[in-house]
């Protein structure tokens, strides 16, 4: 835990868990309600490394931490074994329903790797084109190196997802990476491919499984974890809970040594003993069942397999179809089961192209177009995790298009004759080596065209609403772009002008009735005494923090300036009453956009001062922050000029 020492000392000096009635946090400070404030050693707490100061106001014991207060609070409540007020208040914002919770979590886990995923998909797509037209030979050094660059992310996907999933679930990111690495460890892969079989479980049944290795005498049912998604996410969730358990149980003196050790040594075997078997058996069961269903009705089986193929891939269940397909190739010379989901890439390409053409959001366009190209050439991960899955209706549209295409292939009794390319490069796989172009090729070609066209049309006309993305901020990589009309370039110096967010009288920070703001400990800037209850965006950027009580918001401009707008003093105690935010955390904003309204009269009648600090919290990253000399400002006036 990054703040373990700070939180342990804070807990001891504040009077222990027994003295804490409740805890919450705002933008910069931990806000305690203590049973007895006299038990808190205030001067000692002020001297703690990581504490800015202590403010006792409004019946709260406020420990000023800074912008990372949320992380400190999360670790503090885990250490103390208590719950924050925010946790109860924010329950209504959590997604409802198992599927929604699953999709929201998976989307959040994939967001940090989207750009790398896009790059890898583009490289794979480029190689597919170059090899298809014999520009590159697969045995050449050029192909091998470029293939490593494009394929490494997908091969070692569990490592990347272990990191992001652990962060999402509150565990240590490198713990998740270690677990992900274990899943794709060469020794495990070699054991899974080994011809040596110790014995066979459930021989003669639908889940007949060869056993290559055991753990403490318990048979390990192996699967191929490379490129898998769900096993490492489940493992990271489990590891985060185990880590939290041992953090609470073990004495602080030995936590750093034993928490990680115990978490990994317990989690990894559990994954191999439980997650692997469940995934493998379920995949085999589905494969056998749907193969039998295909014999009964190719059309119905094609619809079911096609409609569920995305989900099978996400859970790694498609591996259960592979033995059946390989057996069919060996005995029949063709397969009729796995091909039902073969139009997934082209359907996803159509869906993604529709999103790209319809959205007005530049960031999404930059993600969607290369994702469309990658999907068209058979690499679906960038489109799935970067475009469709985060937008649930779009995700469902892909399944509908593939289901219809699967039904068409069932109607044509389409057969796939060889393993090979995917996407548009899958066409040669459906040419009958004996008869040439027949119903198999025609069926797949028609199904692919329908999947692409149907995915495009449903998405463009119905399932994608561009309003859900219209306010998302531009890619963070474009932070170097200057603000419109500003900044001016003066030699090597750049000036960024921030407009006034609130109309009113200007007040020096030193006159604010809060020591943390008045002394400049939290940042530099000015305060405004509002004349109207409206907050406007001072520049283009993103809402990075919107506290649940809505009294304050933090934003980051496109130039990387972090700004805090804190409406009133101690207004966190109103718990959102009289505040009406018009934006959400993570939402992109444009200069001059109305961000929030608040009832000035009601707040003042409730006994609160409306002094509103507007401060640059990361001012140390810039040469200087120059404040306006005006005593009265309007929303279009320049309030702060940041010099870089």
Phi-psi region of 80 (alpha: psi -120 to 50; beta: other; left: phi over 0): alpha
Token pair of 322, please?
């592979």
The DSSP result for 322-361, as a single string, is HHHHHHHHHHTSSBSSGGGGTTHHHHHHHHHHHHHHH---
Q: Residue 563, CB half-sphere, CA atoms under 13 Å: how many?
A: 34
H helices of 433-592, where?
Answer: 439-458, 515-518
CA dihedral of residues 537, 543, 545, 546 (deg, nearest 10): 70
CA–CA distance, 282 with 312 (Å, rounded to integer):
10
Token pair of 410, please?
């069932």
CA–CA distance, 577 with 246 (Å, rounded to integer):
39
Q: Which residue has the tokens 């008045």?
A: 518
* CA angle centred on 386, ends 383 and 392, rounded to 5°: 90
614 contacts 563 by C-beta, under 8 angstroms: yes
Phi-psi region of 24 (alpha: psi -120 to 50; beta: other; left: phi over 0): beta
Task: Say which DSSP state 417 is in.
Answer: -
Please count the other Cβ atoms lying within 10 Å of the Cβ belonging to residue 310. Answer: 23
Closest CA to 566 of 549, 552, 578: 552
Strands 504-508 and 579-581: unpaired
Closest CA to 599 of 570, 569, 568: 568
In degrees and rounded to multiples of 5, residue 100 shows phi and psi of -65, -40
Residues 6 or more apart whose CB falls under 8 angstroms from that of 618 comprise 67, 523, 560, 561, 562
Longest dimension (CA), the chain: 91
* CA angle centred on 94, ends 90 and 99, rounded to 5°: 170
308 is catalytic: no
Q: How long is the chain?
A: 644
Token pair of 153, please?
């992310």
Closest CA to 65 of 47, 55, 53, 56: 53
CA–CA distance, 155 with 227 (Å, rounded to integer):
5
Q: Which residue has the tokens 């009794």?
A: 413
CA distances from 312 to 279, 297, 450, 614 (A): 10, 20, 22, 50
What's 446-514 look like in SS3? HHHHHHHHHHHHHHHHHHCCHHHCCCCCCCHHHCCCCCCCCCCEECCEEEEEEECCCCEEEEEHHHCCC
The DSSP result for 578-617, as a single string, is TEEE-S-TT-EE-TT-EEEEE-HHHHHHTT----EEEEET
587 contacts 471 by C-beta, under 8 angstroms: yes
One of 26, 73, 308, 356 is an active-site residue; which one?
Answer: 26
Q: Which residue has the tokens 């933090």?
A: 554
- 3-state class (DSSP) for residue 436: strand
* Residues carrying an active site annotation: 26
């Amino acid at each position: 835990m990054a703040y373990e020492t700070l939180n342990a000392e804070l807990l001891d000096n504040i009077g222990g868990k027994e003295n804490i009635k409740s805890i919450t946090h705002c933008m910069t400070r931990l806000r305690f309600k203590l049973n007895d404030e006299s038990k808190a050693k205030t001067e000692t707490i002020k001297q703690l490394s990581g504490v800015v100061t202590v403010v006792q106001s409004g019946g709260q014991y406020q420990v000023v931490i800074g912008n990372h207060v949320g992380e400190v609070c999360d670790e503090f409540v885990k250490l103390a074994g208590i719950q924050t007020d925010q946790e109860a208040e924010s329950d209504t914002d959590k997604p409802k329903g198992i599927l929604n919770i699953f999709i929201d979590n998976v989307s959040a886990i994939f967001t940090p790797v989207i750009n790398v995923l896009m790059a890898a998909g583009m490289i794979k797509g480029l190689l597919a084109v170059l090899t298809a037209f014999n520009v590159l030979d697969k045995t050449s050094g050029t192909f091998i190196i470029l293939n490593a660059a494009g394929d490494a992310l997908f091969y070692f996907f569990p490592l990347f997802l272990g990191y992001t999933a652990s962060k999402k679930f509150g565990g240590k990111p490198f713990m998740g990476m270690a677990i992900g690495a274990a899943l794709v460890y060469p020794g495990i892969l070699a054991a899974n491919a080994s011809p040596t079989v110790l014995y066979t479980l459930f021989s003669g049944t639908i889940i007949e499984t060869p056993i290559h290795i055991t753990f403490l005498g318990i048979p390990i049912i192996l699967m191929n974890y490379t490129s898998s998604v769900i096993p490492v996410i489940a493992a990271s969730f489990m590891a985060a809970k185990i880590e939290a358990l041992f953090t609470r149980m073990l004495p602080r003196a030995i936590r750093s040594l034993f928490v990680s050790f115990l978490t990994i040594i317990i989690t990894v075997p559990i994954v191999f003993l439980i997650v692997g078997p469940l995934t493998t058996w379920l995949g085999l069961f589905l494969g056998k069942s749907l193969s039998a269903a295909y014999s009964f009705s190719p059309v119905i089986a094609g619809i079911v397999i096609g409609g569920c193929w995305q989900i099978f891939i996400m859970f790694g269940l498609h591996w259960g179809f592979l033995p059946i397909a390989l057996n069919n190739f060996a005995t029949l010379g063709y397969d009729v089961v796995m091909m039902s989901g073969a139009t997934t890439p082209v359907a996803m390409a159509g869906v993604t192209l529709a999103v790209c053409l319809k959205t007005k959001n530049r960031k999404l366009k930059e993600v969607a177009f290369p994702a469309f190209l990658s999907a068209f050439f058979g690499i679906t991960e960038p489109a799935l995790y970067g475009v469709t899955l985060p937008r649930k209706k779009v995700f469902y549209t892909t399944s509908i298009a593939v289901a219809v295409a699967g039904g068409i292939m069932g109607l044509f009794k389409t057969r796939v004759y060889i393993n090979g390319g995917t996407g548009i490069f899958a066409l040669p796989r459906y040419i009958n080596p004996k008869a040439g172009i027949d119903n198999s090729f025609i069926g797949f070609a028609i199904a692919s065209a329908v999947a692409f066209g149907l995915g495009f049309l449903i998405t463009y006309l119905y399932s994608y609403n561009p309003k859900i993305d219209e306010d998302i901020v531009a890619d963070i990589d474009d932070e170097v772009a200057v603000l419109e009309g500003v900044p001016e370039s003066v030699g090597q110096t750049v000036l960024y002008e921030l407009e006034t967010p609130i109309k009113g009288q200007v007040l020096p920070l030193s006159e604010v009735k809060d020591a943390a703001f008045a002394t400049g400990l939290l940042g530099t800037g000015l305060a405004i005494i509002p004349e109207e209850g409206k907050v406007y965006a001072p520049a283009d950027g993103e809402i990075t923090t919107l506290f649940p009580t809505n009294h304050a918001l933090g934003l980051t401009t496109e130039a990387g300036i972090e700004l805090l707008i804190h409406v009133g003093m101690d207004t966190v105690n109103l718990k959102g009453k009289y505040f009406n935010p018009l934006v959400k955390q993570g939402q992109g904003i444009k200069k001059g956009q109305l961000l929030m309204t608040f009832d000035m009269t009601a707040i003042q009648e409730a006994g609160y001062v409306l002094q509103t600090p507007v401060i640059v919290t990361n001012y140390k990253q810039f040469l200087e922050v120059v404040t306006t000399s005006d005593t009265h400002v309007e929303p279009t006036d320049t309030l702060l000029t940041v010099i870089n």
